[in-house]
Structure 1
Amino acid sequence: MGRPRRTFPSLILLLQVLAGPTRASENSEFSLAGDYLLGGLFTLHANMKGPAHLDVLQVPKCKEYDLKVLGYNLMQAMRFAVEEINNHSSLLPGLLLGYEIVDICYLSNNVQPVLYFLAQEDYFLPILEDYSNYVPRVVAVIGPDNSESTKTVANFLSLFLLPQITYSAISDQFRDKQRYPAMLRTVPSASHHIEAMVQLMLHFGWNWIVVLVSNDDYGRDNSQRLGDRLAEGNDICIAFQEVLPMPEPDQTLTPDQRAHLSRILLKLQQTTARVVVVFSPELALHVFFDQVLRWNITGTVWIASESWAIDPVLYNLTELRHTGTFLGITTQKVPMLGFSEFRVRRAQDGPPPPNRTSSWATCNQECDACLNITESFNTILTSSGERVVYSVYSAVYAVAHALHSLLGCTQTHCAKEVVYPWRLLEKIWKVNFTLLGNQIFFDQQGDVPMRLEVIQWRWDLPLNPFPSVASYYPSERRLRNIHNISWHAHNNTVPTSMCSKNCELGQRKRPVGIHPCCFECIDCSPGTFRNQTSDEYVCQPCPSSTWSHRKDTSCFQRRLAFLEWHEAPTIFVALLAALGFLSTLATLVIFWWHFPTPMVRSAGGPMCFLMLGPLLLAYAMTWVYVGPPSVFRCLCRQAFFTLCFTVCISCITARSFQIMYVFKMARHLPRAYGFWVRYHGPYAFVALMTAIKMAIVVGNMLGTSTSPTVRSDPEDHHVMIVSCHPNYRNGLLFNTSMDLLLSVVGFTFAYLGKELPTNYNEARFITLSMTFSFTSSVSLCTFMSVHDGVLVTIMDVLVTVLNFLAITLGYFGPKCYLILFYPERNTAAYFNSMIQGYTMRKD
């Protein structure tokens, strides 16, 4: 980087403009001469509201505000680190590290010390084109402690790339290195503090909380981040959020503020939320907790943000123990040997103060009461552990290590060179060292991934008032080692803070209101379930082959229902089928043995065997109705039996028509009769009817399916009905319609032939068979439209067997009876006599 081409007239922006210079104080706590100076910004005094400085060019007097003990404690940590580096470290051999420390009064005094640090020894800050070779008063700045002040300071220092390491400002805005390239910090960002809080609440099942925030950037930013985090999971809901009134400098409230605070406390009393998260600077909470005690609010879990998690002044309000359990998020505890003694060491106890490098000093470098008041708090500060002070301590060491690298230091010597801010900043980004057992380095966002701890306020443990009860690891984003929490509740039980109690397994949530944490628990209905892996708002339906009772967490396997061999209806139908098979087989043998006889020929001759063959096969195949359905079984039920029955009915219809035609119509229509005989009319009719029936069956099968189905029994959900396709009944009805039509036609021809010779008059037998077939088929279709399940299968096979038995016994039975027991009637002479008698009656 080159020298600037042009230098504008120097602009005096120092203390002469802001507030006239004062003589240097002899108090070495705020200033230490050295080869390289560090700037320190700490809040030793605090005024939450602060007077307005918009109309006067005057720096506020911080000593007029309330003392902040923790601020002085942090300043002492910086002095302790510098002294340790100068006296006991090989980091900067042959060099002295000095400092200039300024009290920033929390928010009131930020700009003046920054300009002081940026100025040179002559108190002038020149306006240049290029500040690459500009050397300000300090090489780096440690602090300040809060995000709002840090933002103001960082906006100045980033323009000069002057390294700034804050030890307590956690705002996530500082992770934007485009905007804050020179700002680093030795504390995890706000997102990790928020995550630790959320995981703590999730661990104890607190999903109904109250959020109280201060009316400043700290409160608003952190509450917004908490709300965004809670919106990601919908596991925790905010019952209400309120802004705490900011007290006046004298810690009083205006009437409006007091009324507002009373409304907040009333809501705290009335809400069912017992966990209160508070984002606020500690000085704004003194009045609030004083009123909490007055209102006698108890049984609450207070979760403190890092700004007041280990505040000794609030801890001294010992009556707070009665309000509930106090938990806080803060940095890890790191013992610093010798710091407790150093914190209260008076100037005269140490080495004499060195000569100041200038006769001028900046404002707010005095705190007359700091040491005395800190001494009164030294016990609690010591026993609380060095938490945030370690962040200051490690920040100073980070600068020292960067200087060590930049100056090419060895164990005994450092090159004393001009340190440009931007070059030191590069080295700070690269530091990686171990300090008191912790690894110190900066990640890509400029943060040191230090462990956070959840601490509890314990008034019963004066030697350990803030013990750690859990640890949070930023690299893992995980809360671990939760233990030893003493709950200020009955029997030391974990307080409950839930809008609605968690639903039991087997229940689902039904939202109530706008909060996802508020709901009713509804039992899962039969046939549905919910277990640990299910959606909390939905009961999952059971798979088709399973079922569940009300409020079940799983489904049980349902019993499959189908026709089985050991059941009484099956045995009965099997006996009927065996009877039909044997009688049909016997008929076949009889007809085969007496085939030339007139009785067999009058019954149909060869066509009888066309009927007896399908009957035998049908009886033999009735087993397909028993057992679990399969594609083959369903195919037989839908096609085979109906085709067999159609063949039989067609043969009977054709035979009835032929007899009636021969005796009553042949002589009137001789040509038609000749055509019927020549082209084998009966067989052609049977073939035609069978072909039509096959077309109907194939159409039904293509329109539905032959695959079996499993469906719930409407009367018993524990049972699954295994059957052929549900549309099978529709196909059966359609198939039966043709058989019914043939039955009616066959019955009509038989009735017309009731006056025929006795040997040819089969009206009674055919009428009986066809009537039975008609009524049984209609009954089956009616039954299937009303009932379901195994009963339908039983009825189906029973009707099928009975229909075939009606043909076997009703049609062939009488003929076999005559053949076997009246052989004299099975002669040609007997048949001729019957025909002659019929002819004579007609004439």
Structure 2
Amino acid sequence: MDTSNVVLLVFFCFSSAVSFPLRSSSCHSQGQFHLNGMHQSGDIVLGGLFSVNFLTTASDLSFTSEPQLPTCYGFDIISFRQAQTMAFAIDEINRNPNLLPNLTLGYSLYDNCIHLAIGFSAALSLVNGQRKEISLEGTCEGNPPVLGIVGDSSSTRTIAISTVLGLYRVPLVSYFATCSCLSDRKRFPSFFRTIPSDSFQVRAMIQILKHFGWTWAGLLISDDDYGVHAARSFQSDLGPIAGGCLAYTEILPWTNDRSELKRIVNVMRKSTARVVIVFAHESHMLNLMEEVVRQNLTSLQWMASEAWISAALLQTPDLMPYLSGTLGIAIRQGELSGFRTFLLQIRPDKQHNSSHGDNMVNQFWEQMFQCRFAPTPAGWIENGGALCTGQEVLEDEVAEEFLDVSDLRPEYNVYKAVYALAHALDDMLQCEPGRGPFSGDTFLLIWFLQLAYYLENVNFTTSFGDQVSFDEYGDALPIYDIMNWRWLPDGSTEIRNVGEVKRSPSGGEEITLNEDRIFWNFGSKQPPQSVCSESCPPGTRVARKKGEPECCFDCVLCSEGKANNKTEDFWSSPQRDHCVPKKTEFLSYHEPLGICLTTTSVLGTFVCLVVFSIFICHRNTPIVRANNSELSYLILLSLKLCFLCSLLFIGRPRLWTCQLRHAAFGISFVLCVSCILVKTIVVLAVFRASKPGSEASMKWFGALQQRGTVLALTFVQAAICTTWLVSASPKPHKNTQYHSEKIVYECVIGSTVGFAVLIGYIGLLAILSFLLAFLARKLPDSFNEAKFITFSMLIFCAVWVAFVPAYISSPGKYADAVEVFAILASSFGLLVALFGPKCYIIIFRPERNTKKAIMGRKAGS
């Protein structure tokens, strides 16, 4: 047995076993953890950790007897529903023929009782198993008790568990641990989570502040890791992102300390900040609001973290006059089809025969419906003597909260965590032996390493339409719902979804807000103003206040030689005594670069006309007729349009030029490339028809079919352009970010996806043309058109592959210049490669422009 196997086996024996003397061939467990759980067997088993009981009673400490785990009580039906979500997801996966086919998933779920010792013991039991004896003579081959774990729900417990399990790369996918410290890949190499970290939560809230122009806000935090990490993130991120600063930061006490709460409310009253951000748990917020009501502190805009945005205990008639209008972020809500039906099928008479004992389900029935197990034919009876038959009991009002699946948030994270493990398993099992990322013996550590590797690369879309993948830190693609509290006239409370914040493709935050749905708890029914100092009017300048944050300043008259104007189109004069219009910059017809590109465009158009004239004058010669003259004329026409459309990129951007430039460019190039593609297909078809018995194939490639194919391919690009222009039309934009003293006029493309699809469709046709032409390059043709098409497509693809990085890295007018250069270069490449050899023969070697000469070459090929 090698060293790795020994170390791994020692770890698995560590928590509940002790080794015998060296001559013994096994180690024996000295006891077992008695844990509340729920189990289902399967070919592969996944573990889960959930907080089903939320209270514990510690056992008496004694140095003469074995310590016992605390006793759990206080059943939480919402956490039990989260555990059932994992069972539901596994049941759904087992019924899915496309995911893990011919394989059954099982589960082993334990209750951590919101207690670190119990949660840690449960985690060790999952990876260790509850076997009484472990042989030391084996090779540790085969499946471990569980391959991956869903949990834990607390950052504190997750840190402790992942610190140990990470040593052996046991995958741990949390659905509720948000501490940003867990993104440390060195400390937690196999940790993943489907909930955004606290750092993104802070940045999401800052985006809301930035959207409404709130640069002056107060911050209240809880006295724990959750609040402290949030405060640090606000201090580091608020200024750079939103240009704002904090009016104050106060720590809410754990207990209802009247004097401390009174002091905090007085700080809030004296502050000019109208926006108050609270990163705390609902119990902290409840204590604070009691003092707010007592002092009648109104006219505040509350912003809630995800910890209390859905807290029902705060939505009372006494508190809603103060909390109505609250804005906050919540865990992404999802819909799980069939979940309610699954919950209705939870019956102890189906599960109490489990070999492990499903005491979670038993406890659910005992706590919620006063049902207990008794040795009767029915198995389960009610305390009063009536049978507990199952579904009709669950339909009772007492289970209304448990069966409410209209607002599934933590449950949706559990669902995504299970599916992430399943997709990673599916990818891992499809790997062919010897071709995967790992090699060597298949001992348990390799199982864990492989699953962790495939989890890092997992990428799928849920049935709700959300993409799930993990970044290099194990964090899922972050997304939050933005919620708004509204107090209705009948005294009830409505929590509305008014938008979302998610990570943008560029890596920043992208906010979407439906302001028409937001309820503001102010007389004006408008968002409040929360700034430390108003912007300085013209003729004054900013004077920083010593010892104050950057967003607090005075406005003083401009000194001699200085000027200030709040209009973006103006800049101070060299003498700084008055405002002058800023310089403007765009790709102009009057500058050398614009003149050069314009001249080249006109030259290309002229060359196209000359080539077209040559082909018309010699249309009856063999070399023109042999190369599909109709398609050649269409290619020349489209190339002429390509040269002309480059002129739309030159000159000051206007709405019609911004909208037309990419549409004209895209359609012109697709017309050209589709003609080349059809031409290539015809070359292949002609050669195939020359073989005995294949003459009938040419009827599918007649002139009518050729025109129809070109028209259909071009129509697809026209549809793409139309969709783009309708949904997110390009438009002119005055950019002052590149140079503060200069305005750069540019066209924003509106939709990156639209532009990418337009370019991608052209690239797809070009690559297809290249591949077909490459296959046909050695056909025994007299004047093999496929060779020229191959070369032309090679030039075309090379130009546009080089275009992408050059375009992205070029600012302002140089981005337009790069695109014009790419259009002209690819157009000239196609013109020269396709028509240069033909024009050379027509003009300079007319003796080769005969049928006899062409047939002669063919014979000699």
Report the CA distance shift for 1:127/1:116 in structure 2 as closer, same or farther (over 3 A).
farther
Code of the aligned partner of 1:116: S
Please tell me whether residue 454 in structure 1 is matched to residue 452 in structure 2. no
- The separation in 2 between residues aligned to 1:488 and 1:423, in whole angstroms, is 53
- Give the RMSD, CA atoms, in angstroms: 4.4
Per-residue deviation, 1:50: 9.8
Per-residue deviation, 1:70: 4.6
Equivalent in the alignment of 1:470: 499
Please tell me whether residue 166 in structure 1 is matched to residue 164 in structure 2. no
Aligned ranges for residues 185-264 of structure 1 at < 5 Å?
A: 185-232=193-240, 235-247=243-255, 253=256, 257-264=257-264
Report the CA distance shift for 1:428/1:529 in structure 2 as closer, same or farther (over 3 A).
same
In 2, are the aligned partners of 1:207 and 1:498 still within 8 Å (CA)?
A: yes
Code of the aligned partner of 2:468: I
- The separation in 2 between residues aligned to 1:189 and 1:457, in whole angstroms, is 24
Equivalent in the alignment of 1:61: 71
- The separation in 2 between residues aligned to 1:346 and 1:15, in whole angstroms, is 38
Report the CA distance shift for 1:505/1:445 in structure 2 as closer, same or farther (over 3 A).
farther
Code of the aligned partner of 2:292: V
Code of the aligned partner of 2:339: F
Equivalent in the alignment of 2:751: none
Report the CA distance shift for 1:488/1:44 in structure 2 as closer, same or farther (over 3 A).
farther
Report the CA distance shift for 1:292/1:79 in structure 2 as closer, same or farther (over 3 A).
farther
Please tell me whether residue 389 in structure 1 is matched to residue 411 in structure 2. yes
Aligned ranges for residues 253-652 of structure 1 at < 5 Å?
A: 253=256, 257-315=257-315, 319-343=319-343, 345=344, 347-348=346-347, 352-353=350-351, 355-358=353-356, 368-369=366-367, 378=400, 382=404, 385-408=407-430, 420-436=447-463, 437-460=465-488, 465-476=494-505, 477-483=508-514, 484-512=517-545, 513-525=547-559, 527-532=561-566, 542-544=573-575, 547-548=577-578, 554=580
Q: Which runs of 5+ in 2 are unaligned?
A: 19-27, 370-393, 433-441, 583-861
- The separation in 2 between residues aligned to 1:148 and 1:472, in whole angstroms, is 26
Q: Determine helix, strand or coil for the equivalent of 1:467.
A: strand
In 2, are the aligned partners of 1:135 and 1:421 still within 8 Å (CA)?
A: no
Q: Which of the numbers 74, 77, 93 marks the counterpart of 2:101?
A: 93
Per-residue deviation, 1:166: 0.8
Report the CA distance shift for 1:53/1:482 in structure 2 as closer, same or farther (over 3 A).
farther
Per-residue deviation, 1:211: 1.3
Per-residue deviation, 1:122: 0.4
Q: Could you list the per-position Cα deviations for residues 715-759 of structure 1 after superposition, in whole angstroms to 9, with x for gaps in the alignment?
A: xxxxxxxxxxxxxxxxxxxxxxxxxxxxxxxxxxxxxxxxxxxxx
Q: Determine helix, strand or coil for the equivalent of 1:385.
A: coil
Report the CA distance shift for 1:50/1:180 in structure 2 as closer, same or farther (over 3 A).
farther
Please tell me whether residue 4 in structure 1 is matched to residue 5 in structure 2. yes
Equivalent in the alignment of 1:122: 131
Q: Comparing 110-119 with 333-342, which one deviates more in the overlay?
A: 333-342
Q: Determine helix, strand or coil for the equivalent of 1:421.
A: helix
The structure number with the bigger radius of gyration is 1
Per-residue deviation, 1:515: 1.6
Q: What TM-score comes out, normalization by structure 2 length?
A: 0.54
Per-residue deviation, 1:487: 0.6
Code of the aligned partner of 2:15: L
Q: Determine helix, strand or coil for the equivalent of 2:524.
A: helix
In 1, are the aligned partners of 2:572 and 2:580 still within 8 Å (CA)?
A: no
- The separation in 2 between residues aligned to 1:363 and 1:76, in whole angstroms, is 10
Q: Determine helix, strand or coil for the equivalent of 1:481.
A: strand
- The separation in 2 between residues aligned to 1:75 and 1:457, in whole angstroms, is 29
Code of the aligned partner of 1:392: V
In 2, are the aligned partners of 1:170 and 1:189 still within 8 Å (CA)?
A: yes
In 2, are the aligned partners of 1:8 and 1:126 still within 8 Å (CA)?
A: no
- The separation in 2 between residues aligned to 1:375 and 1:270, in whole angstroms, is 47
Per-residue deviation, 1:191: 2.5
- The separation in 2 between residues aligned to 1:433 and 1:107, in whole angstroms, is 34
Q: What TM-score comes out, normalization by structure 1 length?
A: 0.55
Highest relative contact order (Cα 8 Å, sep 6+), 1 or 2? Answer: 1
- The separation in 2 between residues aligned to 1:9 and 1:76, in whole angstroms, is 30
Q: Could you list the per-position Cα deviations for residues 562-610 of structure 1 after superposition, in whole angstroms to 9, with x for gaps in the alignment?
A: xxxxxxxxxxxxxxxxxxxxxxxxxxxxxxxxxxxxxxxxxxxxxxxxx
Q: Determine helix, strand or coil for the equivalent of 1:325.
A: coil
- The separation in 2 between residues aligned to 1:374 and 1:268, in whole angstroms, is 46
Code of the aligned partner of 2:5: P
Q: Determine helix, strand or coil for the equivalent of 1:490.
A: coil
In 1, are the aligned partners of 2:273 and 2:530 still within 8 Å (CA)?
A: yes
Report the CA distance shift for 1:428/1:459 in structure 2 as closer, same or farther (over 3 A).
same
Q: Could you list the per-position Cα deviations for residues 314-365 of structure 1 after superposition, in whole angstroms to 9, with x for gaps in the alignment?
A: 446773343342122223332222234545x2623x9811743447989998
Code of the aligned partner of 2:44: Y
Code of the aligned partner of 1:472: V
Report the CA distance shift for 1:337/1:314 in structure 2 as closer, same or farther (over 3 A).
farther
In 1, are the aligned partners of 2:207 and 2:242 still within 8 Å (CA)?
A: no
Per-residue deviation, 1:375: 6.4
- The separation in 1 between residues aligned to 2:106 and 2:268, in whole angstroms, is 50
Q: Could you list the per-position Cα deviations for residues 624-656 of structure 1 after superposition, in whole angstroms to 9, with x for gaps in the alignment?
A: xxxxxxxxxxxxxxxxxxxxxxxxxxxxxxxxx
In 2, are the aligned partners of 1:62 and 1:364 still within 8 Å (CA)?
A: no
Report the CA distance shift for 1:323/1:387 in structure 2 as closer, same or farther (over 3 A).
closer
Report the CA distance shift for 1:195/1:346 in structure 2 as closer, same or farther (over 3 A).
same
- The separation in 2 between residues aligned to 1:465 and 1:231, in whole angstroms, is 33
Code of the aligned partner of 1:120: G
Q: Determine helix, strand or coil for the equivalent of 2:129.
A: coil
- The separation in 1 between residues aligned to 2:139 and 2:360, in whole angstroms, is 24
- The separation in 2 between residues aligned to 1:206 and 1:97, in whole angstroms, is 50
Equivalent in the alignment of 1:110: 119
In 2, are the aligned partners of 1:102 and 1:365 still within 8 Å (CA)?
A: no
- The separation in 2 between residues aligned to 1:266 and 1:421, in whole angstroms, is 54
Equivalent in the alignment of 1:145: 153
Q: Determine helix, strand or coil for the equivalent of 1:179.
A: coil
In 2, are the aligned partners of 1:19 and 1:59 still within 8 Å (CA)?
A: no
Per-residue deviation, 1:10: 8.0
Q: Comparing 313-322 with 300-309, which one deviates more in the overlay?
A: 313-322
Q: Could you list the per-position Cα deviations for residues 435-465 of structure 1 after superposition, in whole angstroms to 9, with x for gaps in the alignment?
A: 1122222222222214322111234399994
Q: Could you list the per-position Cα deviations for residues 405-438 of structure 1 after superposition, in whole angstroms to 9, with x for gaps in the alignment?
A: 333499xxxxxx9973222222222222221122
Please tell me whether residue 38 in structure 1 is matched to residue 67 in structure 2. no
Equivalent in the alignment of 1:13: 15
In 2, are the aligned partners of 1:121 and 1:358 still within 8 Å (CA)?
A: no
Percent identity for Structure 1 against Structure 2: 29
In 2, are the aligned partners of 1:282 and 1:307 still within 8 Å (CA)?
A: yes
Code of the aligned partner of 1:261: L
- The separation in 1 between residues aligned to 2:581 and 2:496, in whole angstroms, is 48
- The separation in 2 between residues aligned to 1:24 and 1:178, in whole angstroms, is 31
- The separation in 2 between residues aligned to 1:107 and 1:201, in whole angstroms, is 37
Q: Could you list the per-position Cα deviations for residues 805-831 of structure 1 after superposition, in whole angstroms to 9, with x for gaps in the alignment?
A: xxxxxxxxxxxxxxxxxxxxxxxxxxx
- The separation in 2 between residues aligned to 1:126 and 1:172, in whole angstroms, is 40
Code of the aligned partner of 1:498: V
Q: Could you list the per-position Cα deviations for residues 227-276 of structure 1 after superposition, in whole angstroms to 9, with x for gaps in the alignment?
A: 111243582222221221113xxxxx4xxx33222222222233222222
In 2, are the aligned partners of 1:140 and 1:162 still within 8 Å (CA)?
A: yes
In 2, are the aligned partners of 1:384 and 1:466 still within 8 Å (CA)?
A: no
- The separation in 2 between residues aligned to 1:320 and 1:71, in whole angstroms, is 27
In 2, are the aligned partners of 1:15 and 1:21 still within 8 Å (CA)?
A: no
Report the CA distance shift for 1:443/1:495 in structure 2 as closer, same or farther (over 3 A).
same
- The separation in 2 between residues aligned to 1:392 and 1:30, in whole angstroms, is 16
Q: Determine helix, strand or coil for the equivalent of 2:319.
A: helix
Per-residue deviation, 1:11: 4.7
